[in-house]
Structure 1
Amino acid sequence: MNARKIKGAVALVTGANRGIGRALTEALLSRGVGKVYATARNPEALRDLRDERFVLLRLDVTDADQISAAAASDVDLVFNNAGVAFMGGIADSIVIGQARREMEVNYFGPLQLLQCLAPTLARNGGGAVVNIGSAAGLTNLPFVPTYSASKAALHSLTQAARILLGSQGTSVFGVYAGPVDTDMSRELAMPKTSPRDVAFAILDGIEAGQEYIFPDPFAADFGRQFESSPKASERQVAAMVASLAA
């Protein structure tokens, strides 16, 4: 895969108001990006970030009209970052509705954005797409089973997009993070990496041309295990869950 330079790029980041999205937006600015379209359902949450390269856009990734409106013609670097997670089991009374919400945001949102922006990327020389997935999308974490399933769907989409968009010169990167210290993971009682460190590791991976980006210590260790033996990584996760429950 071709490495992509951050400096001078025109980026669009979904879910830029907090967590990894917020950290990515700040990291892009510090790496010399030409412009950042920072999107969120409530862009007012980003008013404190002041930079002439910074453009606020309202975007709910489940709203097709808002996606069309946010499809700026100069974008060449897309970060599908917006996500939601349900911390509950498959026997929970609200699991079906929550699972549908996760799929709408974590899978159908990136799919709609890709559908809308693929022609723009082609016109702008190909560019790149960065799908912010999760290690849970490679091996299901039983304490977030439906979230894991939605991230598995995103991983599958990433694989398809890498092939289908490769012919137009678009690079597609998959990010498989471990536990990150964000609002979404507040309930997880385990060591977590800061969003800032994860964001810079993601940008390093893009500039190095890494198709699979494991941006934190947990993810890097998990990635090595997964590449060696997916079944062994499944056993590793089961053991980790058992230790957390003990």
Structure 2
Amino acid sequence: MDITGSVALVTGANRGIGRQFALDLLERGAAKVYATARNPHSIDIPGVRTLALDVTDPASIAAAAAAAPDVNLLINNAGVSAHQNLVTGDLAKMHAEVDTMVWGPLSVIRAFAPALERNGGGAILNVLSAMSWFSYDGANSYAVAKAAEWAVTNGVRLELAKHGTLVTALHMGAVDTDMMAGFDIDKLPPSEVVRAALDGVQAGRLEVLADDWSRHVKAALAGDPSAFYPQTVPA
């Protein structure tokens, strides 16, 4: 997938990682970048084509697909974090996370897959998380959504391979965005994450692990869960 000359669409491009994707795509020579958000007036990036897109609204998705028939690089970035636990949390907020980060990107993929095929196959990048592979007390519902989005990514990759469409999963730890503003921990700059992601797409990689934490968490899946979750082991 050659970024130079590509026609890209980025969901959730008004801030954070999505905004950085739009900026870097322009810098790398994309011919056109559709930057989308629920409120397109919140996008402040010179040189992009702004589109309204609510990934939880089928009519909004259909309108965006009709307005951008030339897309050959789709970046599913829109996300939300409700900071809910599963047993005691607000189910409506959990549903919103799943709608935004599971059914949302899947619906966007379904809408744009025909255009990608017509335009030579192209590529899809799904912005996931190291939390696709681990849970964190206080944000377990987010982990559920990201784990399901990982499964969606693996599934559509199999289904779209026959159309020549690359499907890449991006995983990373904490990133310095509004979503993580309340956490006093080391965070990756969005520019570092986006650089790794676009390098991976350019190289045709199926998965990009943007930092040591995502690599550590994935490796831990092969071990005993008690080693990763020592707080669950009886004293």
Provide the TM-score with structure 1 as the length reference: 0.88
Counterpart mapping for 1:1-246 below 5 A: 4-46=1-43, 48-51=44-47, 54-71=48-65, 72-94=68-90, 96-223=91-218, 225-226=219-220, 229-232=221-224, 234-235=225-226, 237-238=228-229
Superimposed CA distance per residue, residues 126-156 of structure 1 (whole angstroms, 9 cap, x where no aligned partner): 0111110111112223331111101111100
Deviation at 1:62, TM superposition (A): 0.4
TM-score, normalised to structure 2, is: 0.92
Segments of structure 2 that go 5 or more residues without pairing to the other structure are: none
Matches of 1:179 and 1:236 in 2, distance apart? 21
Would the alpha carbon gap of residues 179 and 93 (structure 1) be closer, same or farther in structure 2, given more than 3 Å must change? Answer: closer
Return closer, same or farther for 1:136/1:34 CA change in 2, 3 Å cut-off. same
SS of 1:11's equivalent? Answer: strand
Further displaced range: 9-18 or 201-210: 201-210
Give the partner amino acid of 1:82. Answer: A
Aligned-pair identity (%): 39
Question: Unpaired segments of 5 or more residues in structure 1?
Answer: none
Contact 2:134 2:217 in 1 (8 A): no
CA contact (8 A) 1:24 1:199 kept: yes
1:231, CA displacement in angstroms? Answer: 3.5
Shift of 1:5: 1.3
SS in 1 for 2:111: helix
Check the 8 A contact 2:130/2:213 in 1, yes or no.
no
Amino acid at match of 1:42: N
Contact 1:201 1:216 in 2 (8 A): no
Residue type at the aligned position of 2:4:
K
One-letter amino acid of the structure 2 residue matched with residue 231 of structure 1: G
How many residues are paired up? 230
Q: Per the alignment, do residues 68 and 190 of structure 1 end up closer, same or farther by CA in structure 2, a change over 3 Å counting?
A: same
Shift of 1:237: 4.6
What is the Cα deviation at residue 216 of structure 1?
A: 2.5
Letter matched to residue 83 of structure 1: G
Q: Which whole-Å deviations, capped at 9, do the CAs of 1:4-54 have from their partners, x for residues lacking one?
A: 1111000000000011101111111111111100000111111x3212xx1
- CA–CA distance in 1 between the matches of 2:178 and 2:136? 18
